[in-house]
Amino acid sequence: MRNVLKTTLASAVAAGLMLAATTAAQAADIKEHTLRFAFQSDKNHPIGVGAQKFADLVSQKSGGKIAVKLFPNGTLGGDVQVVSSLQGGVIDMTALSSGLLSGQVKEFVLFDLPFMFTNGREADAIVDGPIGKKLGEKLADKGLMALGYWELGFRNLTNSRHPVAKLEDFKGLKIRVVQSPIYIDLFNTLGANAVPMPFPEVYSALEQKAVDGQENPLKSIELSKFYEVQPYLSLTRHIYSPLSILMGKKSWDKLSKDEQAVIQQSLTESQDYQRKYARGEDEKSLGVLKGSMKVAELPPAEVARIREKVKPVVDKYSKDVGEPLMNELNAELAKVRAK
């Protein structure tokens, strides 16, 4: 009887909260909208899961008036095309690897500096702190609104030719990379041949041997089934990728203040959920991939050699970040590491 009463009470509380949210939405200046949210990954990827959580929160907070329609798997174009569509008001939202925004604001290359972060906690401190805010604010002049950051994760290398367990193993490999200069310089410096291309084209390029390999976080490797055409996985963890959640400024400016508040609050609430989910899935994906691929874990000595080899790349792009911001970044990372 007591359990029945608890269940009934919990249901009543939940219903009351939903009713309160609906009533609040009705009282606010909120009209019916459908927002188009495009991203490159599968709907079951942590990006897709985060997007669905965000969509659910928006629906709840707007009393069902604002719908977020998801377009996964690059169905509305690759990253570069989607950013252009956001700026033109054709698409409303996207989740984008933050470093790719260096084409819009050069300082965003900070997030793609090789071996900058050693764990997600360090990255969280930067994206949620003054640095993440400063960079986000610079995007408004480019027709983009930065709402917050999710997680894509640490990037690792796969290929179809041989295990990569030391610096020399990179030599001659044709590696697909994202369409960003720092990725091209990084892999060319390691002795590979970098081939930039949109994510939706990668599986076909691997299958047809147009490229030998690619680099992505573990969940992306698993869900994209790259293990079907890539027998070798190397846990290089060479770049950590936070995700910038963006809305086109044209779409943002069409919303009332109350509607903007719904979007921002929903995104902020989705951050912890998405990051926690992404980190749990990373571990699961490694277990899955170990069943299908030969996995190489680079010894610390080899990681140190690779770091030294790519130091010129770090130095080159640190100039785009600027000395004051690099000093601020290093100071913030030192604080996190000291705790």
For the chain, give every residue range classified as CATH 3.40.190.170.
31-105+116-153+241-285, 156-239+291-338
Q: Are 202 and 269 in contact (CB under 8 A)?
A: no
pLDDT band at 99 (very low <50, low <70, confident <90, very high): confident
CA separation for the pair 281, 227 (Å, rounded): 17
Q: In the chain, what percentage of residues exceed pLDDT 70?
A: 92
Q: Which of helix, strand or coil describes residue 271?
A: helix
Q: What is the DSSP string of 57-102?
A: HHHHHTTT-EEEEEE-TTTT--HHHHHHHHHHTSS-EEEEEGGGGG
pLDDT at 261: 98
Q: What is the DSSP string of 157-212?
A: EEESSS---SGGGGTT-EEEE-S-HHHHHHHHHTT-EEEE--GGGHHHHHHTTSSS
pLDDT value at 271 more than 50: yes
Tell which wins on pLDDT, 89 or 21.
89
Mean local confidence (pLDDT), 65-94: 95
CA separation for the pair 300, 145 (Å, rounded): 40
For residue 291, give every residue at least 6 positions away whose Cβ sits within 8 Å of its Cβ, in sequence order, or none.
none
Mean local confidence (pLDDT), 112-141: 95
Rg over CA atoms, the chain: 21
pLDDT band at 78 (very low <50, low <70, confident <90, very high): confident
pLDDT at 20: 47
> pTM for the complete prediction?
0.85
pLDDT value at 9 more than 80: no
pLDDT band at 28 (very low <50, low <70, confident <90, very high): confident
Record: fold of 156-239+291-338:
D-Maltodextrin-Binding Protein; domain 2 (3.40.190)
Architecture of the domain delimited by 31-105+116-153+241-285: 3-Layer(aba) Sandwich (3.40)
CA separation for the pair 10, 317 (Å, rounded): 54
Scanning the structure block, which residue is given the tokens 């911001």?
A: 325
pLDDT digits (tens, 9 = 90+) for 222-237: 999 999 999 999 999 9
pLDDT digits (tens, 9 = 90+) for 10-21: 555 555 545 444
pLDDT digits (tens, 9 = 90+) for 235-260: 999 999 999 999 999 999 999 999 99
pLDDT band at 29 (very low <50, low <70, confident <90, very high): confident
Average pLDDT, the chain: 92
Q: Which of helix, strand or coil describes residue 247?
A: strand
